[in-house]
Structure 1
Amino acid sequence: MISFIGGIVLLVLGYVLYSQLIVKNFGVETERETPAYVLEDGSDFIPMAESKNWLIQLLNIAGTGPIFGPIMGALYGPVAFIWIVIGNIFAGAVHDYYLGMISLRNNGAHLPALAGKYLGKPMKHVVNIFASLLLLLVGTVFVTSPASLLANLTPAFMNNWFWVVIIFIYYFLSTMLPIDKIIGRIYPIFGAILLLSCIGVLITLFTSGNIANVPELNLQNMHPDGVSIIPGIFFTISCGAMSGFHATQSPIISRTIQKEGQGRWVFYGAMITEGVIAMIWAAAAMALFDRVDLSALIKAGTASAAVSEIALTLLGSVGGTIAILGVIVLPITSGDTAFRSLRMIIADYINLNQKPFKNRFAISFPIFAMSTALMFIDFNILWRYFNWANQTTAVIALFVSTAYLIYKSANYWVTLIPGVFMLYMVILYLLTEKIGFGLEMQLSYYLSAAITAVILVVFIIYVRKTKEALTKDSLLINDHLPIKAIYPELLSNN
């Protein structure tokens, strides 16, 4: 119980204290015009209130990840709390804030364009593939998981495929229509359901006395199947700690923020909130289940079965149903913006204006056709590939942020350290897991370190040479967009 409460307190302190350092390091310009005003188009670039942006950002980034992931992470024991707290404060929230703010400084550009600008133009093509793959997987996964939960709550004729069709229709509309027409209007309702369900689970954990069952903090691996903590936990718990998917979502909100000073609450604050959600569900899983029973339940019906059991046990039939609806809200409000973000990334890549409805349709229709085909692939296979693509994207976003800070002559260690750490884990995961090479763990430790070192050296050499060239040619400018002359197409008002 103390480790759980302490973790929540540390998350709050992370926002109060560490986020100030992160914001100061970026160099916010409170009076600078934002893309929402400069590029307002009635579709994607629309000024919205800080509270609405925060809520949309929270619901965008909080798919099933901060619930399913922590529940599966609970199998490792209270060591899961360590990764959620440290990962969130020093990696995840930093990742979300810098990527969102750098996008804002680049007219709402998405990750592929930012990677091309700050890491070299070839990276734009590489990252475009990664980001597109990730978003397609996210959108597909976040159709299947809410559909299965809804099917369990409704009459038999409303089976899994019935809800798949309904969710797809909603996703298509939310991808096509202006952001303030559907997403901006219904997200406050979704947000209320989500927050009330989390508060309900938290309160009943204490009032029922089940909170006493949460183990106190230790570094012991309690996983009943003997799955290694390294690298397992860093891919099991992504949303809530650090997730590359967020790098595809923050640019959506960078196009609707009214002032740069709002970024701290909208980007960093939303991630801290997601960390609190992750802590609550991880604690609930530890409190109510023996890890052997939890493992069996997850294997029998994915983490959604554990969600239903936790909600109904703690809150009863009525409250539990509301809580389950809160969980359903999360993947739906990430799936819709996953497809929307994918549309915007493709449009940016091929330079297709998205103001005309027909242009949005021309990109959206093939996206949903491909997602429909992926529906026939086993969920667990999709999830494994999503895990790796997700954290690889996070590494790219952190290295983009590091390059930006180096060009700006700011403190780049705040992004480089978590970036190198996760780079090592991504390589280790690829070397040891089934989706990769399946090598022996001990050998993989050394190989991962060597590959990480090579990539780091190449990155440092490239960035330093680029900065030297820019300084020599007097291209380091006051608004911290140092490669304006190289990629002017990204910038129209900077």
Structure 2
Amino acid sequence: MLWFLTSVALLLGGYFIYGAFVERVFDIKTERQTPAYAQRDGVDYLPMKKRKVYLIQLLNIAGVGPIFGPIMGALYGPAAMLWIVLGCIFAGATHDYFSGMLSVRNGGASVPSIVGRYLGNTARHFMNLFALVLLILVGVVFVSAPAGMLTNLINDQTGLTVTLGMMVIFIFAYYIIATIVPIDKIIGRLYPFFGALLIFMSVGLITAVAFSSEHQVMGSFAMSDMFTNMNPNDLPLWPALFITIACGAISGFHATQSPLMARCMENEANGRFVFYGAMIGEGVIALIWCAIALSFFGNIDGLQEAVANGGPGNVVYTSSFGLLGVFGGILAFLGVVILPITSGDTAFRSSRLILAEYFNFDQKPIRNRLIVALPIFLIGGILTQVDFGIIWRYFGFANQTTAVFMLWTASAYLLRHNKLHWITSVPALFMTTVVVTFIMNSSTLGFGLPMALSTGLGVIAAVGIITLLITRYKGIGDDTVDPELVAVENIDVVCQPTQSEV
């Protein structure tokens, strides 16, 4: 239990200490009018209270990633918890803060436009395509995963017969409605209830483990195990662990979600709580499920058997009902199910906004929203027929690659403003090495090269990028025109909203 409590304390300390440092480096302007007021349209741009924006941000970013990822990562042993803590504080939360605040500074722009502004027009076009692919993959994953879990819950607990296809159609119907209506009509109203389920799930399960005489939190592991690869399938810890545990430590998907709340934030001073803080909250969720996976089944072999018998969804189901009984298990299980649903709807919403922004297509009329959204849902529906394991592998790689792009974008921004770029450049260097090594070494997704060669290529790619950025952008200044950079209007309105607007 001490390991878990220490890890949570480090995450909270990271928010108050390192989060405040990141905020100072960014240099917030409390007098600057945010896009929620400057571009208010009643659909996607409208001001919301800080706590509501935080809750929506947390539910937007916390899909099955901070649950399934840490469960699969736990197969490597307690090293998974170490990566969750360090990755969340220094990489993930910093990534989320800059993806949100750079959107605020650029009129609520989506991640491709932000990438284009600071890395160039070619990067913008690539990122538009890559972000759309990622978001559709996320939407598919966050349809298939909750559909499967709900089907099992209903069939096992009620005696009714519900098919997976029926649940997929039901969830897709909800996603279509949530994607096209104003953000405060469904997302703004349902998420507080969903948040209550999330809190019950998180607090209830870890409390049950803590007071269980049978399942001691991390009781069978020694401190030396923190640095030991315990994977029963002999899978290498490097770089697979850093791809497997995505959303619980760092996730590029979050960069696609942060602009949604950047369009609803009342003041730049709320950014650390909303963006950095939501990632810390997700890190706590990831720690809870990693601790449960390492504790409930007794040892790594027991966890491996549970995963083999039904994947991470079976781990969630078995542990929820085993720790909290039928009623508590249903509530906790529903708390898990709502996470992918509350990320799936915003994934499709983000893809609609990215497409509309790229083609400059007005989204105020509902007809225009439908024109953009329906083809996206058609593609997503087709992809639900593909094996979930295949979709998940591509999602993991695309997710971390998107994070790399966002981190380098933040570094370019800091370099151009003569600020401390290393707070984003160091995690960018590390994650670039991770994704390049993974794709070069993977025999299923990549080139199947030897690990030593793959790692060397990853290091070369990371060093090459940072050298290029420092050479090109350091000291350029935001007012200096670089003809190779895309011309994106810099919306930095320095004025307060009027009293009537408030």
TM-score (norm 1): 0.95
Cα deviation per residue 1:353-373 (whole Å; 9 max; x = unaligned)?
Answer: 111111101110000000011
CA drift at 1:120:
0.8
State the 1:262 CA deviation: 0.5
Pick the aligned partner of 1:211 from 201, 208, 216: 216
Q: Aligned partner of 1:462: which letter?
A: R
Which residue of structure 2 lines up, in the alignment, with residue 421 of structure 1? Answer: 430
Q: CA deviation at 1:492?
A: 4.8
* Separation of aligned partners in 1, 2:420 and 2:491: 27
CA contact (8 A) 1:109 1:490 kept: no
- Partners of 1:344 and 1:211 lie apart in 2 by 46
Q: What residue in structure 2 maps to residue 351 of structure 1?
A: 360
Please list, as runs of the form range in 1=range in 2, the aligned pairs for 1:400-415 lying within 5 A after superposition. 400-415=409-424
Amino acid in structure 1 at the alignment position of 2:347: A
1:419-465 Cα offsets, whole Å, 9 max, x none, are: 0100000000101111011112122122222233233333333324x
Is 1:331 the counterpart of 2:340? The answer is: yes
The separation in 2 between residues aligned to 1:167 and 1:131, in whole angstroms, is 22
Are 1:198 and 2:202 counterparts? yes
Which residue matches 2:73? 73
State the 1:215 CA deviation.
Answer: 2.0
Task: List gaps (5 residues or longer) in structure 1.
Answer: 477-481
Conserved? CA contact 1:214–1:283, under 8 Å: no
User: Contact 2:112–2:125 at 8 Å: present in 1 too?
Assistant: yes
Q: How does 1:299-314 map onto structure 2 within 5 Å?
A: 299-314=308-323
Is residue 135–residue 253 contact of structure 2 (8 Å, CA) maintained in 1? yes
Three-state SS of the structure 2 residue aligned to 1:307 is helix
The residue type paired with residue 473 of structure 2 is: V
Structure 1 residue 21: deviation in Å?
0.4
Equivalent residues in 2 for 1:92-491 (5 A)?
Answer: 92-155=92-155, 156-209=160-213, 210-212=215-217, 213=219, 215-217=221-223, 218-289=226-297, 290-433=299-442, 434-464=444-474, 467-468=475-476, 470=477, 475=479, 489-491=488-490
Contact 2:113 2:488 in 1 (8 A): no
Aligned residues: 483
Residue 215 of structure 1 aligns to which amino acid in structure 2? Answer: F
Equivalent position SS for 2:227: coil
Paired residues of 2:134 and 2:399 also in contact (CA < 8 A): yes
Instruction: Give 1:186's aligned amino acid.
Output: L
Contact persistence 2:67–2:286 (CA under 8 A): yes
Mapped to 1, the partners of 2:86 and 2:13 lie a distance apart of 12
Task: Give the secondary-structure state (helix, strand or coil) at the position aligned to 2:140.
Answer: helix
Q: Tell me the residue number matched to 1:479.
A: none
The verdict on how the C-alpha distance between 1:484 and 1:58 changes in structure 2, with shifts beyond 3 A counting, is farther
Deviation at 1:293, TM superposition (A): 2.6
- Structure 1 residue 321 displacement after superposition: 1.1
- 3-state SS of 1:202 partner: helix
Letter in 1 for 2:29: E
Name the counterpart of 2:498.
none
- 1:205 deviation in Å? 1.1
Task: Report the CA distance shift for 1:491/1:161 in structure 2 as closer, same or farther (over 3 A).
Answer: same
| RMSD (Å), alpha carbons | 1.6
Tell whether the 8 Å contact from 1:147 to 1:163 is kept in structure 2 after alignment: yes
- Contact 1:113-1:490 within 8 A present in 2 as well: no
Does residue 58 (structure 1) correspond to residue 67 (structure 2)? The answer is no
TM-score by length of 2: 0.93
How far apart are residue 241 of structure 1 and its match? Answer: 0.6
SS of residue matched to 1:490 = coil
Is the alpha carbon distance of 1:462 and 1:259 closer, same or farther for their aligned partners in structure 2, counting shifts above 3 Å? same
Unmatched 5+ residue regions in structure 2? 494-502
> Given the superposition, is the C-alpha separation of residues 158 and 319 from structure 1 closer, same or farther in structure 2, using an over 3 Å criterion?
same
Secondary structure at the aligned position of 2:185 is classed as coil
Aligned equivalents of 1:260, 1:27: Cα separation in 2: 10
Which moves more between the two structures, 11-20 or 434-443?
A: 434-443
CA distance in 2, matches of 1:405, 1:109: 18
